[in-house]
Amino acid sequence: MFTKRSIRRNFLIQLIFASASLIFIFSSFLYLYIENSIYDEKHQELIQYAKNIANNQSLVQIDPDTPDTVLGIDVEIIHIKKLNQDIDLYESTKKRHTYLTLVYPFNFDELSYLKITRDITPTKKLLAKILRYIFIINIVGFILVIVYAIALSKMLITPIQTISSRLSNMNEHLMRPIKVKELPEEFEPLGSTINHLIARIQNFVKYQKELFIGTAHELKTPLAVIKLKNQVTLIKKRSPEEYIDALKTTNKTIDEMNIIVSNILNIGRQEGAQLEKPVEVDVIAFLREKANDFKLLAENDGKDLHMHFEPNGFMATMQVSLLNQIVQNFLQNAIKFTEKDKSVTLRSCQSEYGLLIEVIDEGCGIDESVDLFAPFKRQGNKSGVGLGLFLAKSAADALGAKINIKNRDDGIDGTISSLEINSKLSCLLPKR
């Protein structure tokens, strides 16, 4: 039923052992407490009898509410050569009967002592019966503990089995997120993490298919142009200048193909960067450095780059190359699509999710019905392969960040590209 590596088996063994030990210890203490209480009571009764006799009182002049307490008592006077003022109490057994004997000082001048003996066989039988009952209760309790442990372990392991069953039946064509609300709250973080991974896998499979199809299409077109141009050139004899023009067109087309291949290689490099060891970085300091680099590029194009960062510092543990990929793509697109004498803004602020980074441009805007993060998707009339935002989306998924692009809603044409970094792996720096 269970293997040595079974979590449920180990849990059952530990729970049963712990429960059995607790039952045994509790029962032992309970029996010892009952036994000591009864013996203390018998001891006090014998001492009271001895005091009554020592004070020349009759045995029957004790508490009238307990007339049966004198039954089974044997009293005699003994003499001991050596004076001993201590009270001696001991237990003895004769002919299957158990007696409790008390030796109590009576007359010190005559070295006489009272020897009071009481038959406690019924008490011993009562204690034996109590011990049997406790033993039976322990057996029943141990069986109930086993049943409870099995039921509890099954209940606790059910969410894990559900998640495991869901994951084992998944493939790239059948991926369904786990219903987190149906899981116990202790498993909600695990369910959320698995759903995040499933979403990443789904996006990866979806975009990889589009990438393969788009790559084939993008490479097929220039190859067809090269072939057609060569066929036309070979139809009849041409002048050297015409051959040179044909070769220039071919080289230009090859350059375009090289750009596509280089971008595809960047995808492979980025996937390798996702496996890099995360390091601690001040995101605000990184943004200031990146803004200073692009400020010169923007000025060369006749555009202004404004910056506004809050808070003063924000430490995060991440792969810096992935963050650089995203911010760099946002700034390149913003500067490329913004007309001269207009501005681009890079800013940051705190959000409920963590740190919000925004790049706001004054470009032509986007068609929000198009998935701009898919490979080879282009907007506007500017040149480009259409893989920049695809790489940015992959980098954001690897960082566990949120990425979004939308049109401005303040009456000015342009877009807002945003990145939200999760605060779980981040912390604020104190203000200087």
Average pLDDT over residues 411-426: 80
Q: What is the pLDDT of residue 431?
A: 45
Q: What is the pLDDT of residue 5?
A: 67
**Is residue 67 predicted with pLDDT exceeding 50?**
no
b/e per residue 369-388 (b: at least 16 CB within 10 A): eeebbbbbbebeeeebbbbb
Average pLDDT over residues 37-59: 78
Q: Give ∠ CA 157-162-165 in degrees, rounded to 5.
A: 120
Partners of 187 in beta bridges: none
Look up residue 365 and give its amino acid: G
How many percent of the chain have pLDDT more than 90?
Answer: 7
**Pick from 104, 130, 129: nearest CA to 48:** 104
Average pLDDT over residues 74-100: 77
Phi, psi of 117 (to 5 degrees): -120, 135
Find the range with the poorest average confidence among 96-105, 216-225, 335-344: 216-225
CA distance 178 to 197: 11
Q: Taken in order 381, 363, 213, 321, is the CA torsion positive or negative?
A: positive
How many percent of the chain have pLDDT more than 70?
Answer: 80
Q: What is the pLDDT of residue 120?
A: 85
Average pLDDT over residues 344-349: 91
More confident residue, 289 or 218: 289
Partners of 346 in beta bridges: 307, 359
Could you tell me the pLDDT band of residue 172, with boundaries at 50, 70 and 90?
A: low
Could you tell me the pLDDT band of residue 170, with boundaries at 50, 70 and 90?
A: low
**Is residue 60 predicted with pLDDT exceeding 60?**
no
Indicate the DSSP class of residue 181: G
Domain residue ranges in the chain = 7-75+116-144, 197-273, 279-428
Q: Where in 199-341 does DSSP place strands (E)?
A: 279-282, 304-309, 314-318
Pair 180, 191: CB distance under 8 Å: yes
State the angle between helix axes of 188-235 and 388-399 in degrees (0 to 180), rounded to the nearest 10.
160
- The highest-confidence range among 102-111, 213-222, 268-277, 313-322, by mean pLDDT, is 313-322
Q: Give ∠ CA 423-426-427 in degrees, rounded to 5.
A: 105
b/e per residue 143-178 (b: at least 16 CB within 10 A): eebeeebeeebeeeeebeebbeebeeeeeeeebeeb
Residues 6+ apart with CB under 8 A from 111: 79, 80, 81, 82, 83
Q: Taken in order 216, 220, 221, 223, is the CA torsion positive or negative?
A: positive
CATH for 197-273?
A: 1.10.287
**Is residue 214 predicted with pLDDT exceeding 60?**
yes
Residue 216 DSSP SS3: helix
Torsion of CA 187, 188, 193, 194, to 10 degrees: 70
CA distance 107 to 55: 11
Query: How much is the mean pLDDT over the chain?
Result: 78
Predicted confidence (pLDDT) per residue in 192-202, tens digit: 887 877 777 77
CA distance 294 to 54: 110
CATH for 279-428?
A: 3.30.565.10
Indicate the DSSP class of residue 429: P
More confident residue, 117 or 66: 117
Please state whether the predicted TM-score (pTM) of the whole model is above 0.75: no
CA distance 140 to 137: 5
Q: What is the pLDDT of residue 418?
A: 92
Average pLDDT over residues 419-431: 62
Look up residue 130 and give its amino acid: I
Q: What is the pLDDT of residue 395?
A: 83
More confident residue, 70 or 301: 301
Indicate the DSSP class of residue 307: E
**Is residue 272 predicted with pLDDT exceeding 70?**
no
Q: How many CB atoms lie within 10 A of CB 294?
A: 21
Q: What is the pLDDT of residue 64?
A: 46
**Is residue 63 predicted with pLDDT exceeding 60?**
no
Burial class (CB in 10 A: 0-12, 13-18, 19+), 315: middle
Q: What is the pLDDT of residue 68?
A: 42
Could you tell me the pLDDT band of residue 253, with boundaries at 50, 70 and 90?
A: confident
Average pLDDT over residues 222-249: 78
- How far is C-alpha 200 from the geometric centre of its chain's CA atoms? 19
